[in-house]
Amino acid sequence: MLPAILAEITGNLTSALGLLAAAVGVALIGTKAAESVGRNPGASGKILVQAIIGMALVEGLGILALFLAK
């Protein structure tokens, strides 16, 4: 009984840490993209595309962490 509860808690903590890392990654990408557009407004289209691709990749890793840790 106790090992099953401990395994469930450990899996939940692992998936939570993976999702927290994904959230931090998305926040960093968004922050740097906004900073880059502030420095060079003419490149906003290219920066937006790169930021969206980066965010999608980070979110994909977060989803993997959620499902593989369980």
pLDDT for res 60: 94
Nearest one of 28, 25, 23, 12 to 66, comparing CA atoms: 12
pLDDT for res 22: 95
pLDDT for res 53: 97
Tens of pLDDT, residue by residue, the chain (70 residues): 778 888 777 878 888 899 999 999 999 999 999 999 999 999 999 999 999 999 999 999 999 988 887 6
Handedness of CA 11, 61, 16, 14 (dihedral sign): positive
Those residues whose C-beta lies under 8 Å from the C-beta of residue 38, and which sit 6 or more positions away, are: none
Query: 9 near 70, Cβ under 8 Å?
Result: no
Q: Go through the domains of the chain in sequence order and give each one's CATH number.
A: 2-68 (1.20.20.10)
